[in-house]
């Protein structure tokens, strides 16, 4: 005998209240169709029906609720399009890693500082760490000093701010630097 499966449909709650679902007595109507004013809900619904459009509640928490007379499907499409555009324009921040050894010399540190500046200018965070192999673990303080010197150079030159101080993670000591926000007012 085969098992019988019943389909259950979950009723999704609408994103906005539309038409008769708007329970407020009076609403503020915004848009191009009617002047911005407070109207009785029944009158605005009549206007929307005559035009073949929907009354959509945009801001339910205000007093009175703010509504707009639009084609609801078009309204949802435009909102989705705006959200997609906002997401596309958002800064995607990555964490770039810079690795040191406890005995890294000054020229290599300067080279890695140069790379870090590029990463920070692009808006990425930088995670710098000193990796200890074998017996080099006894030079942990040297690694911390190296990282702090590296971080202080970037901080003093105005490229970064220290987000996470030196922290031991097993055979590593790591710090995280974030790009310093650019202040528009300081540019002359």
Using pLDDT thresholds of 50, 70 and 90, give the confidence band for residue 9: low
Biggest CA–CA distance in the chain, Å, is 83
Same domain, 100 and 49: no
Q: What is the CATH number of the domain that holds 75?
A: 3.10.20.80
Does the pTM exceed 0.95?
A: no
Reduce the DSSP state of residue 2 to 3 states and report it: coil
Q: What is the pLDDT of residues 27-62, one digit of tens each?
A: 888 877 788 888 888 888 888 888 888 888 888 888
Whether 174 and 103 map to the same domain: the answer is yes
CA dist 111 and 109 (Å) reads 5
Let me know if residue 3 belongs to a domain: no
Q: Which domain holds residue 105?
A: 95-186
Residues 134 and 112 in one domain: yes
For the chain, how many structural domains are there in total? 2
The DSSP-derived string for 94-131 is: -EEEEEE-TT--HHHHHHHHHHHHHHHHTT-EEEEEEE
Examine the domain organization and report whether 99 and 77 are in the same domain: no
Is 113 found in the same domain as 53? no
Tell me whether residue 6 is in a domain: no
The packing angle between helices 140-156 and 106-121, to 10°, is 50
What per-residue confidence (pLDDT) applies to 6? 61
pLDDT at 187 > cutoff 60:
no
User: Over the stretch 105-125, which tens digit does the pLDDT of each residue have?
Assistant: 889 999 999 999 999 988 889
Is residue 126 domain-shared with residue 174, that is, in the same domain?
Answer: yes
What average pLDDT does the structure give for the chain?
83
User: Can you give the pLDDT at residue 108?
Assistant: 92
CATH of the domain at 156: 3.30.110.10
Q: Among residues 27, 60, 84, which one ends one of the domains?
A: 84
pLDDT at position 188 = 46
User: Could you tell me if 80 and 102 lie in one domain?
Assistant: no
Q: For residue range 124-165, what is the model confidence (pLDDT) as tens digits? A: 899 999 998 888 888 888 888 999 999 999 989 888 888 888
Alpha carbon 76 to chain centroid distance?
A: 22
pLDDT grade for 185, boundaries at 50, 70 and 90:
low
């Amino acid at each position: 005998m085969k098992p019988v499966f019943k389909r259950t449909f979950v009723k999704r709650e609408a994103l906005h209240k539309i038409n008769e679902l708007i329970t407020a007595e009076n609403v503020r109507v915004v848009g191009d169709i009617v002047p911005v004013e407070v109207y009785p809900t029944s009158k605005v619904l009549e206007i929307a029906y005559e035009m073949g459009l929907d009354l959509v509640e945009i801001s339910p928490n205000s007093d009175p609720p703010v509504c707009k007379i639009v084609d609801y499907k078009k309204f949802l499409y435009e909102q989705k399009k705006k959200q997609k555009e906002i997401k596309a324009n958002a800064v995607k921040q990555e964490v770039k890693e810079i690795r040191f050894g406890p005995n890294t010399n000054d020229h290599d540190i300067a080279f890695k500082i140069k790379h870090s500046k590029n990463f920070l200018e692009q808006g990425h965070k930088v995670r710098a760490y000193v990796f200890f192999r074998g017996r080099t673990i006894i030079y942990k303080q040297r690694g911390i000093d190296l990282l702090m010197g590296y971080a202080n150079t970037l901080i003093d030159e105005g490229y970064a701010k220290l987000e996470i101080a030196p922290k031991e993670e097993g055979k590593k000591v790591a710090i995280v630097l974030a790009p310093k926000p650019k202040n528009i007012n300081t540019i002359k």
